[in-house]
Every structure is written in structure tokens, then in C-alpha cells.
């Protein structure tokens, strides 16, 4: 399962890229707005931190196909080949995805709330579809079930489209989809940290170090070998 950071906080991205096996960064206009910086500036910084080998997701802003296509061409020209253009999964968006597929520009159908919306984005040629797990939950539906249905559709019909589950509030939501086999998740930094944040783990980690120090008076194997 690919793991992306759903954030534009530069310091947080630097820390997580350094520590975890991260495949890239996803953004949207709201995430960019949180930084208070110019989109060009913050996205360029993110590209520099993650390098060319990791994937950057940037959202097209217009809501008409022509405007989306123009945004997409410019986004990829500016941020490089390993950039995926997020496109709202609305009728004009599907039209844009089809055209961009022909041009060889990679896309992600975003703002996906129903399995059939995901199906349309995949059939139009999107490389990814992004169901919003927690936001679906907040509407009184089950975001995990919706995402699993989407995964089944991709597999049963052989669409070359990865389900990129998004909008998580906790690591258990991620776990359930990881077990199910979804291809990718994108998470806020605190959700990723919570994969390993556990007092029981911390205690054992501390105990091992203390026991070694008690035994040898040293802090590492290299000091006793």
C-alpha cells in the first residue's frame, strides 16, 4: 500500500520524509490555504523536499473541463513528470480526465463520495480515485464500506486505477483498508505518527536500553564489541 502525506506543512513533511517510507505528498486548495503562502512557493518547496522520485499531487481549481485541462498542463509542466493532477469527480472533471489521459497526463479523481463516482473516474482514465473516508462517515454513511466497494469495482473490472483512500481521523480506519488491500492512503501527519504511537511500545523500547546500560554501563553494542 502506498503511503502519502496529506499536508503542506513544510517542517512536518521534512520530518516524516526523513523517518518513514513515504511515497509522496497530496495537497488540495484547502491544505494550501492553511499555509498562508503562495501555492507556487509552497508546492515548489514540497517538490524540493520529496525529490523527483516521489509523487506530488496538485489539484486543478477550475470546474469546467477546458479550465481543468489548462491547469493540469501547467501543473505538470511546472512541477515535473511525477506529478498527479487531482480533478474533482464531477461531469466536467470526467471529460477533462479523458482528454488528459490521451495527452499522457496522470490524474486522480478526487472528492469521491460514492462507488459509482469512483467507477466513472476510473473508466474515464484516472490513475487514482480518492474516496473521503471520514467525510463520508460524517454524512452518516460508512466511508470504509464505500472505499471497499470502490476497491472491488477496480479489481472486478480490471481498471488500471488505484484507490487512494483519503480523509482519515484515526489509524484504525487506515488499518482496515490496509488489510483489505487498497492501493494507497493519504493521511495527515498526526494519523501517520499514530501508526506507532503507543505507550506499551515506548515502555519496551526504554526497558531494552535501560537493561543494556545496567548490564554494561554503555549505550550501544558498538561500545562493547
Provide, rounded to whole angstroms, the least separation between the CB of residue 108 and ligand E4P. 7
Q: How far apart are the first and last CA of the chain?
A: 39
| Selected range binding ligand E4P among 15-23, 91-99, 128-136, 140-148, rule: CB under 6 A | 128-136
130 binds ligand E4P (CB under 6 A): yes
Region from 77-85, 131-139, 140-148, 203-211 binding ligand E4P, contact rule CB under 6 A: 131-139
Q: Please identify which residue in 132, 136, 154, 182 interacts with ligand E4P, judged by CB under 6 A.
A: 132
CB of 33 to ligand E4P, least distance (A): 11
Q: Is 134 in the site for ligand E4P (CB under 6 A)?
A: yes
Does 86 participate in catalysis according to the annotation? yes
Does 23 bind ligand E4P (CB under 6 A)? Our answer is no
Q: For residues 79 and 48, is the Cβ–Cβ distance under 8 A?
A: no
CA-to-CA distance for 87 and 57, rounded, in angstroms?
A: 10
Q: Which stretch binds ligand E4P (CB under 6 A): 8-16, 75-83, 127-135, 203-211?
A: 127-135
136 is a site residue for ligand E4P (CB under 6 A): no
Give min distance, CB of 110 to ligand E4P, in A: 5
3-state secondary structure the chain: CEEEEECCCHHHHHHHHHHCCCCEEECCHHHHHHHCCCHHHHHHHHHHHHCCCCEEEEECCCCCHHHHHHHHHHHHHHHCCCEEEEEECCHHHHHHHHHHHHHCCCEEEEEECCHHHHHHHHHHCCCEEEEEHHHHHHCCCCHHHHHHHHHHHHHHHCCCCEEEEECCCCHHHHHHHHHHCCCEEEECHHHHHCCCCCHHHHHHHHHHHHHHHHHHCCCCHHHCC
Of 34-42, 74-82, 129-137, 175-183: span binding ligand E4P (CB under 6 A): 129-137
At its nearest, how many Å lie between ligand E4P and the CB of residue 134? Answer: 5
Is the Cβ of residue 87 or residue 223 nearer to ligand E4P in the bound state? 87
Which parts of this chain interact with ligand E4P (CB under 6 A)?
A: 6, 26, 28, 110, 130, 132, 134-135, 166-167, 186
Amino acid at each position: 500500500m502506498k503511503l502519502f502525506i496529506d499536508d503542506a506543512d513544510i517542517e512536518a513533511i521534512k520530518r516524516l520524509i526523513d523517518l518513514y517510507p513515504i511515497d509522496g505528498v497530496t495537497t488540495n486548495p484547502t491544505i494550501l490555504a492553511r499555509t498562508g503562502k503562495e501555492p507556487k512557493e509552497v508546492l515548489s518547496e514540497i517538490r524540493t523536499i520529496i525529490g523527483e522520485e516521489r509523487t506530488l499531487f496538485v489539484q486543478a481549481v477550475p470546474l469546467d473541463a477546458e479550465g481543468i485541462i489548462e491547469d493540469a498542463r501547467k501543473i505538470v509542466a511546472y512541477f515535473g513528470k511525477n506529478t498527479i493532477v487531482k480533478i474533482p469527480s464531477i461531469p466536467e472533471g470526467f471529460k477533462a480526465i479523458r482528454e488528459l489521459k490521451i495527452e499522457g497526463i496522470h490524474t486522480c479523481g478526487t472528492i469521491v463520495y460514492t462507488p459509482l463516482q469512483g467507477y466513472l473516474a476510473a473508466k474515464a482514465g484516472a490513475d487514482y480515485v480518492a474516496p473521503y473516508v471520514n467525510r463520508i462517515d460524517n454524512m452518516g454513511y460508512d466511508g470504509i464500506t464505500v472505499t471497499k466497494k470502490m476497491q472491488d469495482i477496480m479489481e472486478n473490472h480490471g481498471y488500471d486505477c488505484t484507490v487512494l483512500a483519503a480523509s482519515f481521523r484515526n489509524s484504525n480506519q487506515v488499518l482496515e483498508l490496509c488489510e483489505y488491500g487498497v492501493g494507497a492512503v493519504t493521511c495527515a501527519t498526526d494519523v501517520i505518527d499514530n501508526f506507532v504511537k503507543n505507550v506499551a511500545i515506548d515502555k519496551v523500547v526504554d526497558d531494552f536500553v535501560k537493561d543494556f546500560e545496567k548490564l554494561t554501563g554503555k549505550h550501544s553494542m558498538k561500545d562493547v564489541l
